[in-house]
Amino acid sequence: MSYLYAAYIATWVIHIAYLAYLVRRYTRLRTEIEELKKNR
Amino acid sequence: MKRAFPILAILTAVLLSYGLYGALISAPTEQTMGDVQRIFYYHVPSAWTAFTLFFLNLVASIVYLGRRNPKADALALASAEVGVVFCTVVLVTGPIWARPVWGIWWTWDLRLTLTLVLWLIYVSYLVLRRFSSSGQTPVLAAVLAIFGALDVPLVYFSIWFFRTQHPQPVIGGGGSIDPRMLHILLINWAAFSCFATLVCWSRYHLEILSREVEEAQALESLVVESPR
């Protein structure tokens, strides 16, 4: 059973890590957009 | 797609929950392997989803080479990146299944080796996109994507034409599968396909937005540097 849970946990760790990476990139992009708006 | 996004998100959540319940609880236990076989409900749909995303990458790359459409290039990048994530899941869950069933984590079997090569090709594609600053990068990446896509049928058909240690295909491979197992497998495939669509769509829009910001920053620096 431990192998089964390890596989399912690993799957979701990989997906959540990638989603976190996307959220971080999006947050950084929003900051850059705000800075561009301020400079105009 | 903007309107469909919340509906698709809810559908994905429902399918993923039902798929997880089915895979861990309601699907019958396989007689030879026992509960470890249940890894198959995540491993196989992840592989199918990765193949679909690499096919999307191939189509978008061909469209980009033909029309030089930047949206096709952004879609190619998004599908390759999400495809690599799903392919990583395949390469991680496979050895976790193999250890208790085969007694080893990995073997240089044709199917496994070709899958690793496929992953490496698309990781190279992403490295090229990330670190090359040449104006020709999208063209080079599109050509690499076309060569990379040639590995997908090799991976898929390797177990049909060669003797490998990997189990035979679930559908169309001459074997039989319990209808309840097939039902859960297809539910998980639908769930991962919906999830991949959501993530790929988000990554595509992030890429479009990122390029717009880069253009605006370049324009701004030109305005600042130009003499008054």
pLDDT at B220: 82
Q: Report the number of distinct structural domains present in chain A.
A: 1
Q: CA-CA distances (angstroms) from residue A12 to A20, B24, B26, B93, B106? A: 12, 15, 20, 11, 22
What whole-number distance in Å separates Cα of residue A40 and Cα of residue B150? 48
Helix and strand numbers (H, E) in chain A are: 1, 0
pLDDT at B207: 95
The H or E element that residue B212 is part of is: helix B179-225
Which residue of B40, B86, B89, B104 to mutate against A (max A Cβ within 10 Å)? B89
Contact in structure between B202 and A22 (CB atoms under 8 Å): yes
Q: Which residue has the higher pLDDT, B227 or A4?
A: A4
Q: In 3D, which of B125, B122, B114 has the Cα closest to residue B160? A: B114
Bridge-partner residues for B30, per DSSP? B34
Helix and strand numbers (H, E) in chain B are: 7, 0
Q: What is the mean pLDDT of chain B?
A: 91
- In B, which residues are within 8 Å of A3 by CB distance? 36, 39, 96-97, 99-100
Q: How confident is the model at residue B172 (pLDDT cuts 50, 70, 90)?
A: low
Average pLDDT over residues B139-148: 94
Which residue of B25, B33, B88 to mutate against A (max A Cβ within 10 Å)? B88
- In A, which residues are within 8 Å of B46 by CB distance? 11
What whole-number distance in Å separates Cα of residue B49 and Cα of residue B20? 17
Please provide the DSSP assignment of B142-190 as one string: HHHHHHHHTHHHHHHHHHHHS--SSPPPSSSSS----HHHHHHHHHHHH
Q: How far apart are the first and last CA of chain A?
A: 59
Of A11, A19, A22, the CB nearest to B42: A11
Mean pLDDT check: name the lowest of A23-27, B58-62, B124-128, B221-225. B221-225
Q: In 3D, which of B102, B84, B87 has the Cα closest to residue B167? A: B102
A3·B38 Cβ contact <8 A: no
pLDDT at A1 over 90: no
User: What is the ipTM, given to two decimal places?
Assistant: 0.93
- In A, which residues are within 8 Å of B13 by CB distance? none
Our CA-based measurement puts residue B102 at a distance from the nearest CA of chain A, in whole angstroms, of 13
Q: How confident is the model at residue B171 (pLDDT cuts 50, 70, 90)?
A: low
What are the two backbone dihedrals, phi and then psi, of residue A25, each rounded to the nearest 5 degrees? -65, -40
- Residues with Cβ within 8 Å of B188's Cβ and at least 6 positions away in sequence, in order, are B19, B22, B23, B41, B42, B45
Average pLDDT over residues A1-21: 95
**A9 contacts chain B (CB < 8 A):** no
**Single-letter amino acid code for the residue at B88:** T
Average pLDDT over residues B51-68: 96
Contact in structure between B81 and B126 (CB atoms under 8 Å): yes
B42·A7 Cβ contact <8 A: yes
B213·A18 Cβ contact <8 A: no
Average pLDDT over residues A3-30: 96
Of A3, A22, A29, the CB nearest to B213: A29
Percentage of chain B beyond pLDDT 70 is 94
pLDDT at B226 over 80: no
Give the range of the structural domain holding residue A19, as residue numbers without chain letter: 1-40
**Single-letter amino acid code for the residue at B206:** L
